[in-house]
Structure 1
Amino acid sequence: MKEGPQDDWDPRNEAALQDQMAVYDDMRRRCPVAYSDYLNWSLFRHEDVTRVLNDHHAFSNVVSRHLSVPNGMDPPDHTEYRRIIEPYFSQQRMAAFEPACRNIAANLVNGLATREETDLMAEFAQDFALQVQSDFLGWPADLHEPLRQWIRNNHAATLSRNQTAMDDLAVEFDGYIQDLLAVRRDAAIDAPDDITASLLRAKVGDRLLDDIEIVSILRNWTVGELGTISACVGILAHYLAERPQLQQQLREQASLLPAAIDEILRIRAPLIASRRITTMQVKIGDRTLEAGQRISLIWASANRTEAVFGNPDEFRLDRAPAHNLLYGAGIHVCPGAPLARMELRIIMEELLARTSQLDLVPGKEPVKAVYPACGFSTLPLSIRCIQ
């Protein structure tokens, strides 16, 4: 029997659990195309990741045994479903949603005024992600806590590769969506005019989307949004708490926030990896991969590649935006990027405008999240609010 490749690294060893970025930086420099039993083939360099993103013929997105619309599709299917989804993130929709997003952010920041110290993740970042996503989709507030617990359980199941638990969690999430769809169907013409209801009227070709497709779309939006947005808020707040001068500069020059946010999240990634599968034999670096090989694109490393960014930890506001892979590239570039950018801009505008100081808490170290999450599990901060 033919033996498979030997492991080049262990993504779950103690060093990776303690400091993912340091391990990825090391792998990028010494073994940029690496195999592990846990992640299969991992790509760490910007040039290799970009190549895969821009070649959907050799590197397929159909990597899951579950329907994934449109993330887990290739053209021509991907093209048709993408056409349905992109209008939900149009400039007009973002402008219409901005006041509600700002109101959520302002209320959460105002709630910090009663505390001398806060765990920013549990008491702010996660609440923002849950509230803003639910409001965008038209979901009720009583779904916030079940979704919060679902995210925790899904992360644990993914980390342990517990397929039974992951399957059960997929069924649980599908049940939430099916209930939401049933409410809107029962309401008929009295159904709320929200995105969830509008998907019931969306067509692919000459037919309406079926429930499986709608559930997949909403699952992709929600799972990606909730975990990633809360991670982003924590990463941004921590970075600024460590740098009082930059924090004050962005208070005084809020127009710099969009570029600053993208740059901070390039340095400290909120999303570790995505997956592809080879459709033919390919050579990447000095490794030859046969058809059918699974690949993990390590965004967190690619966006720190020295050949593209120089010193990966240097904060600069004049980076070429096209080089930043925060939202991907190619035909699968994140369709929700306009929503994520707006949400992050607004939450940071409100956080900085309504506070005079964000500080780390002496003697209380933040707890870093572990793969597949990134950022922080807990983040103690002292926040001085403007009265």
Structure 2
Amino acid sequence: MAENSFFSNSSDFVADKKEEFETAHEMFSELRGKCPVAHSNSYDGFWALLKYGDVVNVLKNPSTYITSVQNVVPKVSTTGRRPPLHLDPPEHSPYRRTLDPFFKKEKMEQIEPDVRKIVVDLLHPFIKKNGGDICSEFSHLLPGHVFAEFFNLTKELSMSIREVTQKYVKALHVMDKENIQKYSIELYDIARAIIDMRKKEPLDPEHDVVSAYLARKYDGKPLPENMILGTIRQLIVVGMIAPVVFVGSMSVHLSQNPQLQGKLRQNLDLVPDAIEEYLRLFTPYRGFARTPNEDVEIGDRHIKKDEPIALVFASANRDEDVFPNGDEFILNRENIKDHVAFGLGPHRCPGAPLARMMLQLTLKELLARTESIQLNGDIEMTRWPEYGAVSVPLKVY
């Protein structure tokens, strides 16, 4: 098949069309029907998988589709390897096995009261003044405050990470390579300072992530310091980005659906199911990537070894072959747990339990403390690689 002209230059695919909340999803839907394995010449060329089945097949085959060459489109990692995402199994295993215990159910139960207090404290001034920009005034702050708790950091240090991360993401949106590298290096400096702090004042490895990596042995040897640095650099960034976009998109939908607001307010026990449907509907990720280590056939397209493939989770989760009426919010979908908002396989997001907790608490406390949520101005959408609302003015009472 010749290159699809609809996608040959991905200006539409990455466009920042602030006036249309569903712009990208409308295009994803068209691509799923016309060219589900699409190619773009942007960002030095890449393939994009739009169908759920194709995305899942790649995620389930990490021996063929690897992350160690390129794990995101566009390729922006130029400042070092950052486990576990930048490594393939089994090399990534000691880094992942060190991290996973911190997201077990009992750990989440321990920190839930603190996370709830953070959510309530951040929502209070927002609601007291009858709203504002939910993104800049709440969801921008939320991950920084939660990370302070999770990483045993001061709130000041955690929010400094959040501020640098925001600058890094803004540079990424416009492919400002100079500033992408600049802010990435700043994040490495922060990660190095955190590691040095833990070396001087170690904490219990069972209760502190950084201390756990410093104490970890693999084949009888400590983990390499440069790889620990890359790991901490990765961890302090990944959870800072998506909550802003996701809460923004969820807030737009709530404001457009007052009946849903009322239904959830009357029964807050429905919130966990609502969050799962929101995760499916407003998955922000469309640029996570894999690289085949051999020539492959996907659909009727021949993809050569080492050609990057973007896994468009945001499209896969609306694939109507898997999720009927995929553009609609449907509470209690029978197969809602099949969504891939957090990925799948060995690189499935380890922080999913913490993300779910943050989002469920946000929705519960926002609904419990308001009678109405209304859009109160123009929204602003992101550019590639995430998709969602980054500025959402609301009126609440």
Report the TM-score, using the length of structure 1 for normalisation: 0.91
1:196 equivalent in structure 2: 210
Alignment of 1:235-246 (within 5 A): 235-246=249-260
How many angstroms does 1:190 deviate by? 10
Alignment of 1:85 with 2:128, yes or no, is no
How many angstroms does 1:149 deviate by? 3.0
2:342 equivalent in structure 1: 327
CA contact (8 A) 2:145 2:159 kept: no
How many angstroms does 1:14 deviate by? 8.3
Alignment of 1:259-270 (within 5 A): 259-270=273-284
How many angstroms does 1:287 deviate by? 0.6
Q: Residues 287 and 124 of structure 1: is their aligned pair in 2 closer, same or farther, counting only changes over 3 Å?
A: same
Amino acid at match of 1:42: A
2:68 equivalent in structure 1: 62
Give the distance between the partners of 2:143 and 2:65, measured in 1 at CA: 32
Structure 1 residue aligned with 2:361, among 342, 346, 359? 346
Deviations 1:337-365 (A, max 9, x none): 1111111111211111122221111xx11
Give the distance between the partners of 2:365 and 2:92, measured in 1 at CA: 37
1:48 equivalent in structure 2: 54
Give the distance between the partners of 1:145 and 1:74, measured in 2 at CA: 31
Give the distance between the partners of 1:125 and 1:76, measured in 2 at CA: 35
Alignment of 1:281-292 (within 5 A): 281-292=295-306
2:392 equivalent in structure 1: 379
2:73 equivalent in structure 1: none
User: More displaced, 242-251 or 107-116?
Assistant: 107-116
Give the distance between the partners of 2:205 and 2:327, measured in 1 at CA: 49
User: More displaced, 142-151 or 327-336?
Assistant: 142-151
Structure 1 residue aligned with 2:114, among 78, 84, 100? 100
Deviations 1:116-170 (A, max 9, x none): 3311100011111211122211121222443333223222332333434322222
Structure 2 residue aligned with 1:212, among 226, 231, 247? 226
Give the distance between the partners of 2:40 and 2:81, measured in 1 at CA: 26
Query: Which residues of structure 1 form unaligned runs of 5+?
Result: none
Alignment of 1:129-168 (within 5 A): 129-168=143-182
Alignment of 1:101-140 (within 5 A): 101-140=115-154
2:10 equivalent in structure 1: 11
Structure 2 residue aligned with 1:22, among 12, 23, 26? 26
User: More displaced, 238-247 or 108-117?
Assistant: 108-117
Query: Which residues of structure 2 form unaligned runs of 5+?
Result: 18-22, 71-77
How many angstroms does 1:183 deviate by? 2.1
Q: Residues 192 and 57 of structure 1: is their aligned pair in 2 closer, same or farther, counting only changes over 3 Å?
A: closer
How many angstroms does 1:28 deviate by? 1.7
SS in structure 1 at match of 2:294: coil
CA contact (8 A) 1:262 1:326 kept: no
Q: Residues 5 and 204 of structure 1: is their aligned pair in 2 closer, same or farther, counting only changes over 3 Å?
A: farther
Give the distance between the partners of 2:375 and 2:234, measured in 1 at CA: 34
1:38 equivalent in structure 2: 42
Alignment of 1:221 with 2:235, yes or no, is yes
Report the TM-score, using the length of structure 2 for normalisation: 0.89
How many angstroms does 1:320 deviate by? 1.0
How many angstroms does 1:80 deviate by? 2.9
SS in structure 1 at match of 2:15: helix
Q: Residues 108 and 156 of structure 1: is their aligned pair in 2 closer, same or farther, counting only changes over 3 Å?
A: closer
Q: Residues 192 and 89 of structure 1: is their aligned pair in 2 closer, same or farther, counting only changes over 3 Å?
A: closer
CA contact (8 A) 1:155 1:372 kept: no
SS in structure 2 at match of 1:277: strand
Deviations 1:209-259 (A, max 9, x none): 343222322232232211112222222222112111111211222221112
CA contact (8 A) 2:244 2:390 kept: no
CA contact (8 A) 2:173 2:382 kept: no
2:333 equivalent in structure 1: 318
SS in structure 2 at match of 1:17: coil
Give the distance between the partners of 2:305 and 2:187, measured in 1 at CA: 33
Give the distance between the partners of 1:230 and 1:158, measured in 2 at CA: 16
SS in structure 1 at match of 2:346: helix
User: Matched residues, percent identical?
Assistant: 29
Amino acid at match of 2:57: R
How many angstroms does 1:5 deviate by? 6.6
Amino acid at match of 1:239: H
Give the distance between the partners of 1:53 and 1:219, measured in 2 at CA: 24
Give the distance between the partners of 1:259 and 1:142, measured in 2 at CA: 34
How many angstroms does 1:189 deviate by? 7.0
CA contact (8 A) 1:241 1:360 kept: yes
Q: Residues 205 and 253 of structure 1: is their aligned pair in 2 closer, same or farther, counting only changes over 3 Å?
A: farther
Count of aligned pairs between the two proteins: 379
Give the distance between the partners of 2:89 and 2:342, measured in 1 at CA: 20
CA contact (8 A) 1:270 1:374 kept: yes
CA contact (8 A) 2:13 2:27 kept: no
Amino acid at match of 2:309: I
Q: CA RMSD in A?
A: 2.3
